[in-house]
Chains A and B, each alone.
Chain A
């Protein structure tokens, strides 16, 4: 269970390692375009780290890792306007994932799929708002279908990782 009997120094160290890992995965995400013709489609590997932290460290640490990841990788890789899009996606995605996880009805795969879909939706809504062109919504089907496929993949991976990492991170 989250941080029971774990020293705060240990928790900080775990969060730091996971944040670094999620930033590397964000970078790898940005380097692998799944469909070069449609911008914004990525594997979402960084979400793996968020899922694992959500399950093993709990709500607050996972939220911190998510926010720090978005701000830092935004500053490093995509620039501030990019960070704004990622942030809205990340916030919505995290809220949805935390809710679904808490409901207890879904496996990691379901949580991951919903997180991916929410991320796309959040970014799209921000883009529609900033550009004030509702026309952008025609990206939604492509984004969602590929997002579901990627979500299933990261869901399976996170299930394995959560099992393997729980002795290390729960300690």
Chain B
């Protein structure tokens, strides 16, 4: 294939280097280093970088923040509605594992799950 002739050796080294950085970030995430606290799973909501609310993942509730409405239901969380244009947070859907998060960039809101997940918290 003629197209592949244009790739130089330095291109491949560059590609491998970039993929390596991705891998290096991926390892601590996968091994749960970011979710080190071992308390039962909690939902942490932040707005403008400050903690807005923290509650258990296993108690159903609706969090009304004005611009966004977050729903905690049956051990999973989803963004019920948001007044922003892109609706990325709403389209994220449900999250239910430690380390997952929903982010609304326009309103600077993050929702994330910390601590152990239900079954793991019992077995450990």
Contact = CB atoms under 8 A, between A and B. Distances in A.
Category for how many chain B residues contact A: 20 to 34
B1 to A, nearest CB: 10
A106 B91 CA distance: 38
Interface string A31-63: 000001101000000000000000000000000
Given A39-B88, A148-B18, A109 B25 contact: no
Nearest to B26: A141
Interface of B: 3, 6-8, 10-11, 14-15, 18-19, 21-23, 25-26, 29, 34, 46, 48-49, 85-86, 88, 91-93, 99, 101, 103, 105-106, 108, 110, 112
Interface string A115-139: 0010000000001001111011110
A113 B105 contact: no
Interface string A74-114: 00001101100100000000000000100001111110011
Given A36-B91, A132-B49, A133-B110, A145 B19 contact: yes
B11 A113 contact: yes
A145 B20 CA distance: 10
Nearest to A159: B6
Nearest to A30: B86
A158 to B, nearest CB: 10
B14 A141 contact: no
Contacts of B106: 79, 81-82
A156 interface: yes
Given A106-B11, A140-B25, A37 B105 contact: no
Contacts of A85: 105
Contact of A137 (B8, B25, B46): B25
A144 B11 CA distance: 16
